[in-house]
Structure 1
Amino acid sequence: MNTRFYAYNFGIPLACAALVFLMFDMTKIDIAFSNLLFDPLTQTFPLDKIHFFEKLTHKWARIIPNWTAEIALIGAMLSVVWPLVNPQKRPRLGAFLERSKVAPLLRFAADHRRDFFFVVVAFAVCTGVIHFLKAHTSVYCPIETTLYGGKMAHVEWYNNFQLFHEAGEGRCWPGGHASGGFTMLALYFVARRYQWRFSSAILWGSLLLGFVYGTTRVLQGWHYMSHTFWAGIFVWLACLLTALAFYGRARLELPVLQKHQRPEPASTLATPLSNE
């Protein structure tokens, strides 16, 4: 067992979880920060009333993870077509697909079948984890609580947590919008599988996207800052466990290739998903 791999990939997020719990959940920092964004005279979060800000940061921003998930799903479905075509047995069909320029796309999808299915499953697992935590903690958003003109009481997630049944109507912890950005971390694990030298850029870009998504909702009064950190921690762990199931530790811990090096062809990295 490579303790360094597990210490880095599990140890750091778990340490971050402990830090977030102590710094935010056990103090009033979240409330103090949201107080700075709240206008007590109008009893509103001013940015929550700006239609364009809401559209830009909440509606349009969903395009990135939504399109990524849709592309992965389409790729996963296409990945099973080329083996079914089997040009050796159906040469006329194979020739038709070559002439129509569809064959290269189908071959690419088939070669990366495991990756497309991984992204689909990772997105689904992340979404499921976040929805489970929301339902089983029943935390209301700041704007819904009596602290900021709402009707619901402010309650910390650990005071409401129920493992085996839903805790109530609240659905604010962890940050759902932030988790949408963080799910792009699934692409980082695909890049690590191929030892791509830009994998670090994907990692930091995905983290930045999640923090931007989460922070915009904090500014509008629909989340506390700690909700974003918790979303990132849970999504990372969900993506990591899914990646280990699909690729294995040995592949994920290989060093990133340098510019003069080339990754191995996809066919040599692992057998197709359907044959395993």
Structure 2
Amino acid sequence: MQKRSDSLMPLVLVTGPSGAGRSSAINVLEDLGFEAIDNLPLRLLPRLVLTDRLESPMALGLDSRNRDFTPEALLDLIAVFEGYHHVALTVLYLDARPDVLLRRYSETRRRHPLAPAETPEIGVSRELDLMRPIRDRADMLLDTSDLNVHQLKAEIEHWFAPDGRSLALSLQSFSYKRGIPHSVDMVFDCRFLTNPYWQEGLRGLDGRDPAVQAHVKTDPRYSDFFDRVLGLTELLLPAYREEGKSHLSIAFGCTGGQHRSVTLAETLAKALAEGGQQVSIRHRELQGQQ
């Protein structure tokens, strides 16, 4: 695998025979912050990379299903990218034994793209022969024959995120009157805490205001509750990373979604950010006010 300069933007060409795990590798790279583009015609890619100047790392998925794919065309494309002085190119080739590729096709019952009207055996053999020049050119060869999806993720992360995989954490507040948000991992009910709504001077404010936060924190149950939520979150973050998860979403709910839930989301976000965790915040009921 070629060395990268820190001043250059990573460009990864992900290729290999069908069934070797190319799509899974692309998904992992996307979770690591790469802009992932799969199966665009080869002729469009040089202009895409040159025009964008790669403001973020890019991963391009290429295989025999590309409309204008030939080994010669892909080798020519690699030569073009090698001439770009703003990128650090890596050709990642996902490989697998023929019997493994055949078994994977048998399990999915899909037609092989190079033998749609013939047996999968013919398609696998034909594609391995076709891809051999690309395999010989690859900077990084990864045999997935004996890897499950979690092991494949670990291998990709080892090469392209050696300092550890980042995990996106999102916090949000909501009103129980409008229902619990979809696709959240954990929900905490804050309705037991003292409600600033009943304070005339605080009713028109929300949990982003220091006065509202101070009032919520006067509840004697607040500190213990917050400490437990913070401890649980700090416990789960590394566990999620080890499991290969890319996102953790936590929601806080109260009656109106204005005061207590917003306070908890804001306070937890601040505590985690001070520990180096990147956090995004969404206040569902305040969206029109932000």
**What is the TM-score of this pair, normalised by structure 2?**
0.21
The structure carrying a bigger strand percent of its residues is 2
**What is the TM-score of this pair, normalised by structure 1?**
0.22
Structure scoring higher RCO (CA < 8 A, sep ≥ 6) equals 1
The structure carrying a bigger helix percent of its residues is 1
Please tell me whether Structure 1 or Structure 2 has the larger radius of gyration of its CA atoms.
2
